[in-house]
Amino acid sequence: MKKVFIKTYGCQMNVRDSEAVTALLRKRGYGIAVRETDADIILLNTCSVRDLAEQKAIGKMTGLAHAKKRKPGLILGYMGCMAQSRGAELLKTPAINLVVGTQKFHHLPDYLDQLTGRAGCPQPAAVVETPRRGEDTAPYQILDIKDEAGSESAVKHHEPGAVTAYVSIMQGCDMHCTFCIVPATRGAERSRPILEIVDEIRQLVDNGVKEVTLLGQIVTSYGRKKSEFVKLLTAVNAITGLERVRFTAPHPQGFGDDLVAAYRDLEKLCEHAHLPVQSGSDRILKAMRRGYNREKYLKIIEKLRAARPGIGITTDIIVGFPSETDEDFEATASLLREVQFDQGYVFKYSKRRDTPAATMPDQLPEPVKEDRNQAALAIVNAAALCHNTKLIGQTVEILVEGRSAKGAKRMMGRTRTNKIVVFDGNERQAGQLLPVRIERATTVALYGNK
Ligand code: 5AD
């Protein structure tokens, strides 16, 4: 039996895609290798959102191509976003056998059958499949995955025994943020019907899942009609046996009063919102084509904090967008100080191919981006530590997910506000909602005792 190892880069959507592909390959009779060195086939599920993510995967593949000299039968492939955006040019390294874009995962078992000779036909040296945007009209890709699995339930595509699960509700993105490559790598927006999503979650709950995260590039555009996303949240909230609901990633524009009210009214919806602000300068927000200004953004935060006191609010920031002045950056820094986010992810602007920002004048030098990155991080980290420190001495409810790391003695779970809590416990507690007393805090985690 040939064994496959999949290494995943990037976002939760990629994690979910890797799970689904793993299930498809298992069903086709492939084994899943726990270690890369045991594998006959290695696939890198790639990310394109920043150049660094692409370079990581390319660096990894270069190492694997080298290792292939000692193991000539090894099959190497790129899948996912970078495969989609770079396509056949990735085959320049002769050691690479396979490049499969985001819309074509369901063909992977066939391609691997061909490459391993299982299909009974001559073995091709390489396969590439990356549809161009608009070419693929499939309404929603998971349907294709289901076809492959026949009548089997979607739950078979999830990690067995898990307490939490990602559930894909839509794919693609129709926003046109000028810095972002995602519309090109993930295609146009397609939503999955509510009933199908609810059905999948019911099955997950029957299998022991307590918390689901609804996934999509822009979940607040779900169904493309106003309030459709809130309708979905309401339906999921009503599922018996489910304890917690989360979603990612939303767009600030999608936080209308109905969604704010959902935070107040839906008891399973966790009090955490990830609201990527990107910049605090109105001029830069406009150049990014974000569709809101600083004032509107701050208003949303104010409403959310009023609807759910104690809500955890996290964000993404881009520093060094083309033409960003010291004054623009200061506007971002002041917004960070004003909001005091629970956590923030700061990124240096990275030029992406075929995006409008890549050809804008006044691209900033790397040292300027680096300085602003450090300055923004210092504010973000100070706020995170302050929020976390306030919890010392308090007892919080966590959902226990499992061991804190592979082989570690301590257990980990999350608060409803999405903070990681590490504590002394035992494996039997996985899946339980437990009160934990917080004793110590860092910028990224809380430590406590049962
Ligand atoms: N450069 C830097 N950061 C980017 N992001 C998206 N595109 C870019 C880019 N070209 C960041 C945004 C987004 C997060 C997922 O990645 O902050 O919210």
CB atoms near residue 371 (< 10 Å): 13
The answer to whether 218 and 175 have CB atoms below 8 angstroms apart is yes
List, in order, residues 6 or more apart from 103 with CB less than 8 Å away: 84, 131, 136, 138, 141, 187
Give CA–CA dist 341/386, Å, rounded.
10
The tens digit of pLDDT for each residue in 183-226 reads 999 988 989 999 999 999 999 999 999 999 999 999 999 997 77
Nearest CA to ligand 1 atom 13: 316
pLDDT at position 130, please?
Answer: 76
pLDDT at position 129, please?
Answer: 75
> Would the pLDDT of 359 be above 90?
yes
For the segment 63-67, the average pLDDT, to the nearest whole number, is: 95
Question: Which range is least confidently modeled, 66-70, 151-155, 289-293, 417-421?
Answer: 151-155
23: β partners: none
> Would the pLDDT of 401 be above 90?
yes
Q: Is 50 in the pocket of ligand 1 (CB under 6 A)?
A: yes
Q: Is 276 in the pocket of ligand 1 (CB under 6 A)?
A: yes
The tens digit of pLDDT for each residue in 298-334 reads 999 999 999 999 999 999 999 999 999 999 999 999 9
> Would the pLDDT of 148 be above 60?
no
Strand 244-248 with 211-215, pairing: parallel
The tens digit of pLDDT for each residue in 215-271 reads 999 999 999 777 899 999 999 999 999 999 999 999 999 999 999 999 999 999 999
Q: Is 179 in the pocket of ligand 1 (CB under 6 A)?
A: yes
pLDDT at position 142, please?
Answer: 44
The alpha carbon of 350 and the centre of ligand 1 are apart by a number of angstroms equal to 8
Give CA–CA dist 201/38, Å, rounded.
34
Could you tell me where the beta strands, DSSP code E, fall in 199-311?
211-215, 244-248, 272-274
Give CA–CA dist 70/73, Å, rounded.
9
The tens digit of pLDDT for each residue in 83-92 reads 999 988 998 8
- The type of residue at 17 is D
Give CA–CA dist 188/198, Å, rounded.
23
The tens digit of pLDDT for each residue in 104-143 reads 888 899 999 999 988 887 777 778 877 655 554 443 444 3
For the segment 376-398, the average pLDDT, to the nearest whole number, is: 98
Give CA–CA dist 99/82, Å, rounded.
9
Give CA–CA dist 422/405, Å, rounded.
10
> Would the pLDDT of 376 be above 80?
yes
- Judged by phi (left if over 0) then psi (alpha if -120 to 50, else beta), residue 189 lies in beta
State yes or no: cis peptide before 261, omega within 30 of 0.
no
**Atom number of ligand 1 nearest to Cα 278:** 17
Q: Where does the pLDDT of residue 151 fall: very low under 50, low under 70, confident under 90, or very high at 90 and above?
A: very low
Give CA–CA dist 218/171, Å, rounded.
8
**Atom number of ligand 1 nearest to Cα 351:** 10
Residue of 241, 301, 304 lying closest to 271 (CA atoms): 304
Overall pTM surpassing 0.75 (yes/no): yes
**Atom number of ligand 1 nearest to Cα 355:** 10
